[in-house]
Amino acid sequence: EEVDGKSGYSFRVWAPNAQSVHLIGDFTNWYENQIPMIRNEAGVWEVFTDLPKEGDIYKYNIKRSSGQEILKIDPLAIYFEERPGTGAVIRTIPEKKWKDGLWLARRKRWGFFSRPVNIYEVHAGSWKRNEDGSSYSFAQLKEELIPYLVEMNYTHVEFMPLMAHPLGLSWGYQLMGYFAFEHTYGTPEEFQDFVEECHLNNIGVIVDWVPGHFTINDDALAYYDGTPTFEYQDHDRAHNYGWGALNFDLGKNQVQSFLISSIKFWIDFYHLDGIRVDAVSNMLYLDYDSGPWQPNKDGGNRNYEGYYFLQRLNTVIKLAHPDVMMIAEESSSGTKITGMRELGGLGFDYKWNMGWMNDILRFYEEDPIYRKYDFNLVTFSFM
């Protein structure tokens, strides 16, 4: 942006309880010429500088409330350096001239309820690999995966999380950058091209998103300014013992804004057709995890913050994109997941059936002579 006739970049980061925040990176020779940031009344630190250039890597040097200094990621970065590095990369992504207008117009007109849906679930990191064991980029997936989807008559492809994550083994379920495209899978532009090519072949694209919990790594979102920032104040609620992760404080306006902005960005920037919201039960029930828990104010196990956050999420997305599928990965029967908010529902369009694939595979792997005893594997989910 332009400030006082100078062309440069504005940096902003929410760290309400930090003692100080400095911008550091390739353009400051890292620790040598750190740029001090100024805190506004909302607890956001900001600075404008014309020093960075395209491709530079940067981080925030945060002096925590305890006085300890730590380098942190930029939570709003849209691209990070290659793993295991976690520096954000200065990148200007050119405005794409999309060619999928016909697909989007059809999607708006017909929606998705009136046609059959057949979804192929993919982990981009291991669907196929190169000779050297590295993951395919989306440029390669465009050439090989899309013809396969067409041949197999899929209507949609659904990807396990594509947001930046520090460890490939997590399959993307321990996220770090909620706006960033995972470097291992290529560039944001390559994924935009992939989605466009899917649309030109009449295939919708759904992406998994994890708003319940995030990676515990110290240089990411965890205890960002030295106090519970993105996570709950209560230690047991903040810590997800079963997954070794931290739970978002879904009752905080800033956290709700961060998460809803993240998913709106992915839908708008990548023209996504659907979002699968991961681990909804973890956001709905206080006793979902294996650790200790406290009942809510009414003595029950409902996590009110999570419940109202999910209602708000669906309301906001549906106002902006009524034709984008909102899917909950959830398998309890204690809460109305689909259905109108006014009737106590969360407003999702669909529930993602976790058991179907396992049950059907188990059924067909059995010797045919025994299948009649296990027919409930096929019929159970209809009930």
Asked if 257 contacts 272 with a C-beta cutoff of 8 angstroms, the reply is no
CA pair distance 139, 153, nearest whole angstrom: 21
Angle between helices 188-200 and 101-110 (to 10 degrees): 60
Q: What are the catalytic residues? A: 278, 329
Contact 103, 199 (CB under 8 A): yes
* Cα(122)–Cα(126) distance, integer angstroms: 8
3-state secondary structure 58-100: EEEEEECCCCCEEEECCCCCCEECCCCCCCEECCCCCCCCCCC
Alpha-carbon torsion angle 165, 168, 173, 179, nearest 10 = 30
- Dihedral of CA atoms 150, 134, 77, 21 in degrees, nearest 10, equals 160
Could you tell me if 244 and 30 are in contact, meaning their C-beta atoms sit under 8 angstroms apart?
A: no
